[in-house]
Amino acid sequence: MIPTRYIACDLGAESGRVMLGTLENGKLSLEELHRFPNGPIGVPGFMHWDVVRMFDEVKAGIRKVAGRGKPVAGISCDSWGVDYVLLQGAGPFLTPPFHYRDPRTDGGLERAFSVVPAEEIFAETGIQFMSINTLYQLLADLRDRPDVLGAAERFLTIGDYFNSLLSGVAKAEESLASTTQLFNPLRKAWSTTLIGKFGLPARIFPEVVPSGTVLGLLLPDLSEQTGLHDASIVAGCSHDTGAAVAAVPSEGKGWAYLSSGTWSLLGVERTVPIINNASRGFNFTNELGFGGSVRFLKNIAGLWIIQECRRSWLKDGKEYSYDDLMGMAGEAAPLKAFIDPMDPGFTRPDDMPRSIADFCRSTNQPVPGTPGGIVRCVLESLALVYRRTMDQLEEVTGEKLNTIHIVGGGSKNRLLNRLTANATGRTVQAGPIECTAIGNILIQAIALGHLSSLEAARGIVRRSFPMERYEPAGKMLWEDAWNRFRQFTQSSPTKTIS
């Protein structure tokens, strides 16, 4: 088999990578050729994304691939969800796009519900309620920047925006469009009902295309700038979780996936959306995946909490690597105190360790006194949230779920993997780490006719990448922990939406 090469541009909230994938003899190999830091840029009172710098980094990565002198079949960009760029004419954007943690959407849920009831929004979109969702960001534009929104001719989510920069074709790929809470997953189209009722300009919403749509070739000007020629630009799964789930090395039934990173996205794969009172009450979401599949899942605050702790300690002159923190957490006393990672107090704290201490005091728990104790508290709490979510998934779907496939960067966190198996009482299969890039590449291979199906792609994942297995232990200790955890989280405002 002649090697076939693909470029995955994986844009994350903390970093971006340009990955080269080579498909040969039924196996996939990956190589990271370019990595760059990412994060919000700020002016007083606002948080934005520097998409110009990000695109320069993407081009730098493509240039490194071209320097190998080997043909490349395809390129595809994926990103986080909810954020977007407003466009007019041939310009790069009207204003720099907002970061989803910008405070402009505070109170957005309540304002939206005063116009359209929550039940109607969920029935139309099947998407969980978070104030960061695209819907509430656009409503903030409508309130605060009507001139900018009025001047916009096009709206593109981040991954689709980068694919359009590469191809010159501005389309919305359905896995990313489905995260906006303005998309109907049954009709696979923008919700004209909600767009109309909220008074949003219908003209800005682009044509929606299925996952795995070939948009065209890399623009000639970019070919000259990068030295790469004749590569197709593919709208694969432009949403990073959609790409990651496509590469979950699953077989049979009874499994869930956990895409572990800055966010934890825990759910199951289905063929049709689950839109009913139970799924709304537990605040689940229905996002589209490759091949018309549905990612029925919940967004959970993930390793972001530890990232913010590390940032706070660094400000105090204490620099810890992630390996340092995991080592200290592994030696810390277990099951002493818990937080609810979904509590609003952990959304945008000035000082995350202090917020954790405040939560423990307010719930009459011992306050972790060391960085290792704090990290252990966070990891154990995440594992218990995973248990709660797995139990809810079983209740809503009626299916027994015995295995959790943990993929993404968080899958290399052996301590969290072990805690997840123990807390949930389920087998954990961890890996691959680079599942988003793998899914991005394999969807390109299917779109370009080099692979036959998603099943064939998942078979390649199983043959190409190692996994680690964790079995649950300490049942009685974790049952006690679960009962204590529920006392602190049973009134969590994110548990139900009424």
Helix H segments across 26-77?
A: 51-66
Three-state DSSP state, 376: helix
Q: Are 108 and 82 spatial neighbours (Cβ–Cβ below 8 Å)?
A: no
Q: Which of 433, 428, 443, 495 is nearest to 464 (CA)?
A: 433
Q: Are 384 and 407 spatial neighbours (Cβ–Cβ below 8 Å)?
A: no
The tokens for 469 are 């297995």
Catalytic position from the list 102, 160, 240, 343: 240
DSSP secondary structure of 435-486: HHHHHHHHHHHHHTTSS--HHHHHHHHHHHS--EEE----HHHHHHHHHHHH
The tokens for 487 are 């006392």
Three-state DSSP state, 132: coil
Question: CB-based contacts of 491: which residues, under 8 Å, 6+ apart?
Answer: none
Rounded to the nearest 10°, the torsion over CA 54, 60, 64, 65 is: 50
* Residue 50 a catalytic site member: no
In the block, residue with structure tokens 């994350």: 12
- Sequence letter at residue 88: Q
- What angle, 0 to 180 degrees and rounded to 10, lies between the N-to-C axes of helices 51-66 and 158-167? 50
Please provide the distance, in angstroms rounded to a whole number, between the alpha carbons at the two ends of the chain.
56
Q: Which active-site residues does the annotation give?
A: 240
